Structure 1
Amino acid sequence: MALSYGWKDVIVIFEDTENGRDMDTFITNFLQEKRITVTYMSPISTSSNNEVLQEELHKLSNMQTKLYIIHAAHSLAFHIFKNAKCLGMMDAGYKWIVTSKTMDLLDFMDDEAMEFMQGVVGLKSYVPQSRDLKKLTLKNHVMEPKHINMVVTQVLEIINVIGKEEVKVGFWTTDAGFTKKIGKMNYFPYDVLEPIVWPGGFCHDVFVAAFQALDPNVAFEFIPITHAGVGQEFDAAIGDITITSNRSLYTATLSSLLTVEQIQLASNRGLIGYHHNIPIQLGVIVSNMNFKETRLKPYNTLEEIADALTRGSKKDGVNAIVDEIPYIKEFLAHYSSGYTMVVSEDITNGFGFVFPKGSPFTAKSSTQIAKFREEGGLQMLQEKWLGQKSDSKSSPALYILNFKGLRGLFLISEVSMVLSLFLFMVYYTHEKLHSTYENAMLAGGKLAFILRFLSPKSGIRS
């Protein structure tokens, strides 16, 4: 995988156990056979505390190589990513690949662990769905990782952690190499796998691009904003920003806008879905006169939304989803077939930046982002992070109204106008000729009477 993406140098991080050391030797030998240089091998003790981990990670961050391969138990991997996040090593520019030892137990990690692993790519043992597997899952839905006997398979799924979900990028088999689907052979994942979203993000990249254009010498540090960080002072904030009363001292640039204003479905009986994890969402949707709270259904994941849209309101699903534009685009990136977005006015209707009131960066960043958009840079980043990941051939073709599409209507209108004009001219000409004829007849009659009166042959005597 590293070879196919053109990476020549990697750093291997492994747990300092017998199994970890054996795997480190195997990985190193395998990479060297592929002419990939292992610039550093970092053994991590399973008993390492945060201070030790940060010291080791800080040393790694100062090295030129920014691609890391981790082979460690899920508990140790969690602490590694947690400390890497604190050091800014989960931002753009860093790439993380983990082995199946961590990814096989990803389902047992909580939301906090998933948050620290954003953008991570890993290999996970592939177990085909079956009735027996489904029964086992339903029966043992509260299983702990220690109760699981790992199944060794010859097929691995390539997983990309995005949000709270595992996005399937493709598969790898010992015989076929990398492929999007089982049974299709291809040894070069760069061309056949779904796009991988590495650490970073749309807002992050726009912010960096804007400020590097303003002043390349400006240094900034990204710090995660958590509930525990309420009250902390920041020079700026990026992401899904909502302005509330305790943030009245700040001003927003390109702040998040919803797409629900003045939307009305063709049917008033259908149910509507929305993201349950966004507190402001319900209040905004309910306040819209076209929607009632009784028609709303909350959902947590993209899979749940796709399933609800597929089933529809008649089968306990929904007829539509109301959400913020970036979230809708992320949904369409994974489920483009059969769905489309309506009422999207502008590319800036999405996530934004927030600065303290009076900050000189407010106007400067707005100007720079507008310039960035005009030059096409913003569109390129949007395609990178929110672009279509599904097969474009399966996307529904939107019928756009234009002159060609309305030529029939225009033809009917033109024919009607010409016919109306023709009938008017006929009527007008007829009336004009009739009036002229009557006048001529009247004039002719008077002249004949006068001539008869004046003529001596008329028999009238004076």
Structure 2
Amino acid sequence: MDPCKVSATLFGLVLSLSLGRHVRGSGRPEAVNIGAVLSYGSPIGKVARTAIEIAVGDVNADPDILAGTRLDLVMEDTNCSPFVGSIGVLKVLAKDTVAIIGPQSSTVAHIISYISSGLRVPLVSFAATDPTLSSLQYPFFVRMQQTDAYQMTAMADLIGYHGWRNVIAVYVDDDYGRNGIYALDNELAKKLSKVYRIALPVGASRAYISDMLQGSKVFGPRVYVVHANVDSGLKIFSIAQELQMITDEYAWLATDWLCTALGASEPNGTNSSLHYLQGIVGLCQHIPQSRRRGAFQARWSELYGKEMVSSELNVYGLYAYDTVWAVARSIDDFLNESGNITFTSTDELVNMKGKLQFDKLRTFAGGQLLLTKLLRQNFTGVIGQVQFDRDRNLKSGIIYEVINIDGALVRKVGYWANLKGLSTTLPEIMYRSGPQNFSISQTLGNITWPGGKGKAPRGWVAATNERPLRIGFPFRVGYVEFVTKVNENHTVEGFCIDVFEAAVKLIPYNIPHQFVSFGDGHSNPSYSDLVNMVSDKVIDAAVGDIAITTVRTAIVDFTQPYVSTGLVVVVPIKDVKSNTWAFLRPFSVIMWCVTVAFFFLIGVVIWLLEHRVNSDFRGSPKRQCVTIFLFSFSTLFQSQQEDTLSTLGRFVMMVWLFLLMVITSSYTASLTSFLTVQQLSTSINGIDCLIASNEPIGYQEGSFARDYMINALNIHRSRLVSLAGPEAYATALRVGPKDGGVAAIVDELPYIELFLQRTSGFGIVGQPFTRSGWGFALPRGSPLPLDLSSAIMKLSENGDLQRIHDKWFCKAGCTPQTAGSSDSDQLHLSNFWGLFLICGIAAVVSLFIFLIRAINQYIRLNKKHKGPAEQSRKGCCQAIYSFFDFIDEKEEAIKNIFKQRKSSSQPQVGIVELT
């Protein structure tokens, strides 16, 4: 255990035991002691010591506070040491101090917080920013400051603003540095970013720091966040400059210690001596301008000009000044309520023997009341409103300034405020606008980065020539067109390799890499194991025909898919070209029957419509029957010898020919498909049939298809047969399940397409029953997937991806065979019933019109030759019989008329009226 922690625990246990009480004094005291524990030699301590002394003098000179009670200051130097600080606080507490101001170090604050809690003395720090000090473990610790949790949120937003995913944090491994970086890690984790840590021991040598920075180059990120004290931080930057790490390839960010190092309360100053800080971006605490602050700064400048103070004012001096006033006001409120300061002694400490005079340490009886009064303070100081939150931290608008060192000039390039984010607008103006969400419009001013560049560095390098990326690839046995190792010269080639190399060329920076094979070359390796190697950092990436699955995306990042794929089912098929009656397959039986029936129907209808006026449809009964049978069939080939003369006949023929055109074209297309598409030789026509069949199923060795069928489709593993490649596929399918083969193969579509191009007798049934793709696998958080994905999209858009595909797979055509089902592809009556209905209606309507016109002619002729009495005696049936007799009698007359029409130059059209 840390000796400092042991000491702290010991002090807490001993001092918290109060066995007896000793009361000293009565009435309002003439003086009250307050303590201050500082590091006099540090940049913060120099300014804070003077500011505290000035504040104590101002309090004692103000008649409106403490009502004549004098505030006495007891100070001790911690010398930046937790051990010395512990001794110093004991000396301060031995003088009956009611509150302690400081320390400025979080490490010292952790230790003496146990002591102050044991003696019930409030400890008010203006510089200890470790977030863990706000825990309930330190009930008497009050922070006149914000915690580093806010600063690290600002730093995370600054990193996210520039699109950096990974950073390297360099920090001193003490409570301040370690807990601050933990807070940064938590904030970046919310943005799916990662922190690589470089922990430095307290007082690390230049050689040690140099070795750690040099070794950090292999991590890849080029964004560094330095969180340290002033001395260590400047040493880190100085060494980085010597290592040529402050160049245009790097980005360096610093927490608020940098402003302290610059030595000015306003960062718009110049400091030419810090030449190795060029391009650095940092955060500074922002204190709003006010009349009180302006007056105090003017007063300090006057003292500095008279050499009465040794350092320029910084923000910690302002916080230290207001800390004294907060303590003084709380003491005033305490005295107004209790009237006196009371201490109690601990008998156990009095009885302790030795040179350490623990009997002088007394417990402040009113410590809890004073703490309550302190936490209730609400006044306006030089830093603005002084008020504490429930975690005993200063409650105010948390604002940081973003600064940039450009040459000898330190420029403000923006602000960060909680609930507002990054902006170039003055925070006071932003807060006046009310609660708004500015996260979507965050902006900063122009920043000059290391090397004088105005554009933000990329922030990482994938690899260097000294350490190229180790790209793993599967050493395949089958389907070597996708990826394989050429043993003669140990090179790698294949479709996937060509896609990767083409994508790398489109990335605007160099990615040194070398390929590493995975597999023994005798069997296909497990792709899940290959992906696990990427996750375990054994290799830097995996390239090949790697399917993107849910399980794999949980451990690695994938690029944009460069091949769309899915699992399909392949079965044996048979050729139907040898089938004698294959030409009948396009139409169903009902379709054939209805079509033939319509041929006869149309022949009869046309004969009825043309018989009276067209000699081609007349003659002996035998000749007329032959005409009826052949006429409609000959229209199928446009070879009929008879012409239609009547309007109704031509109308029926127009509808019939349109129906024939549609049926003929559909039959031709369907027959072509049946003669070229092969048919199933098994009953399996999809994945559902395959699952229910209980037949053995083949899959490619090493493929994720096995786990998918077991876990997602609930297929028993005993049914699954591992096959090495296309030759094994063909053999297993041809043998069949009865002789030790398989009923079907389940594999990804690209493999099956290549298999079907080169092997006949097999086909795909159904559609792909999964949707996925192939991508390149990289470690989680790597920036490479985004750039590679953009490059793959460019390859797809400019056609290079298709050209690479054709190079490897389209040497002998790219059309895979697909098995179909004759039943599903046949044409049925339901496909054409509308056309048949229209044709039938046209025929019926034409016959009806013809019949009405013929009857009308018969009636008119009958009236001319017979009297009214005789006409009235004939019934309807007799009229119909007479009509047909009339037709027969006039047959010869019709022939003569038709001959006359045919011999004329302009033949008449229509029905000839009988006279």
TM-score band by shorter chain is 0.3 to 0.5
Give the number of the structure whose alpha-carbon radius of gyration is greater: 2
Normalising by structure 2, we get a TM-score of 0.21
